[in-house]
Amino acid sequence: MTPRHETDRGDGARAAGGRTAAGLTPRDVHLRTELAHHLRADVFPADRGRILDHLRGDAAHNDVMDLARSLPDDDRRYANVQELAAELGLGTGHGHT
């Protein structure tokens, strides 16, 4: 059952008061939540290959895998899920600051 102060948006993500954080769509919230679920703190710092390996090994959903595959194939290393989400454009570019 969903607590009164939270709203189920039908995508598995919940937000207090039925709202998402500024700049985050319900899809962004869902994907960030999935990334955080599959990529624990001990995975980081991580490059694209390590991220994909962990997601694959943890049987992440196709939408999460597809998003991670869109990461640049270079030497970048991400310090945490927040940095990774920013690189993936989750919660950015929606007209919010």
pLDDT at residue 92 in the model? 54
pLDDT at residue 6 in the model? 37
Low-confidence ranges of the chain (pLDDT < 70): 1-23, 92-97
Q: What is the dihedral of CA 81, 28, 22, 16, to 10 degrees?
A: -90
pLDDT at residue 59 in the model? 96
pLDDT at residue 24 in the model? 75
pLDDT at residue 95 in the model? 32
pLDDT at residue 42 in the model? 95
